[in-house]
Structure 1
């Protein structure tokens, strides 16, 4: 004897789960495609250390803001951003061929400062922990 579960019934017709917005799905596809593209096709040594951290696409799918990080930190962020801007046409052509969209979004590259901010906050926490240890040892 099976017990009737309304959640399973709703899921089977597609009403029980929350669907992602199209712009979010497109952003994920662009991030995945560019990450693979950067590994396989880009030969510019300035772009060797680039990692695509996240992509934000506007709701009308006209603009994609691509946030990147560098393994070496933010020292060469501006130069890398210029190199990415120069390769933008090459990348956009690749996306047009692979994503099969009516309109390929304009690509805007920005350095993602989130990793730097996290490292800064972690260093503050480390300083606090060190001060607590010093006070505990002095008492």
Structure 2
């Protein structure tokens, strides 16, 4: 008997529900590891690191971990330190998150704050402010 498969549309922009759920579990695990100082690296000491998002690949074998040091300073140093300790972090994530395979971790700087600041600066420019005021020259 032939199997009847339903044709699925494209995956949502943020990924499937499972990708989002696993990404959130990995995010919590990585954040917990960093908060408790389980990673012993001189470059990570003295840095408070935020993990705002983890994006999982569709097969759940690759996790892209977005991190941001407090204040945004030394992000390159922090990313390099996390990359050096990737094997340890992967093992810890495997112990804390119940998955068939422990995902490979890839660390990236979270640039959403920089992008938000750039947009804020654009909105504060005189040309945009002039267009946003209710009493512009076009109303007269």
RMSD of aligned Cα (Å):
2.1
TM-score by length of 1: 0.71
C-alpha separation in 1, matches of 2:87 and 2:61 = 15
- Figure out how many residues of one structure are paired with residues of the other and give that number: 112
- Classify the secondary structure of the residue corresponding to 1:56: strand
Q: Say which of 22, 28, 33 aligns to 2:24.
A: 28
Larger of the two Rg values belongs to structure: 1
Unaligned residue ranges in structure 1 (runs of 5+): 1-19, 133-139
- Classify the secondary structure of the residue corresponding to 1:101: coil
**Matching of residue 57 in structure 1 with residue 53 in structure 2:** no
- Classify the secondary structure of the residue corresponding to 1:46: coil
| Larger helix share, 1 or 2 | 1
> Could you list the runs of 4 or more consecutive aligned residues of structure 1 that deviate by over 4 angstroms after TM superposition?
129-132
Deviation per residue, 1:40-85 (Å, 9 max, x gap)? 0234353323211100001101100001112232x52222111010
TM-score by length of 2: 0.71
